[in-house]
Amino acid sequence: MTPWQKSSFSGSANECIEVRTVDGMVEVRESDSAEIIVRTTPGKWARFLLGVQNGEFDSHGDFSA
């Protein structure tokens, strides 16, 4: 199990998304709701990250925060 990792853009705020790998699966949680964890495969996570890098989800973000 790897430790939870958050984005360097989160700073010291407790309002971020964290990710780690457990037993070959990727787990994602919100730092302020740590009891809710989403699990997915590394392949699905990689395809999601490619979409993020491509800007496909930009309309869902608040970049002024």
Q: Is residue 9 classed as helix, strand or coil in its secondary structure?
A: helix
Q: Is residue 30 part of a domain?
A: yes
- Asked if the structure places residue 31 within a domain, the reply is yes
Q: Which two tokens stand for residue 17?
A: 């998304």
The parent domain of residue 39 ranges over 15-46
- Check: pTM over 0.75? Answer yes or no: yes
pLDDT value at residue 14: 74
Question: Is residue 2 in some structural domain?
Answer: no
* 64 in a structural domain: no
Q: Which tens digit of pLDDT belongs to each residue from 2-33?
A: 899 998 888 776 778 999 999 999 999 998 88
Number of domains comprising the chain:
1
Would you tell me how many other CB atoms lie within 10 Å of the CB of residue 26? 20
In a domain, 63, yes or no: no
Is residue 5 in a domain?
no
Task: Check whether 65 has a pLDDT greater than 70.
Answer: no
Separation CA 18–CA 27 (nearest Å): 8
Nearby residues of 24 by Cβ (< 8 Å), 6 or more positions away:
42
Is 27 part of a structural domain of the chain? yes
Residue 24 domain flag: yes
Q: Per residue in 32-55, pLDDT tens?
A: 888 999 999 999 999 999 999 999
Q: What are the tokens at 50?
A: 């490619």
pLDDT at 37: 96
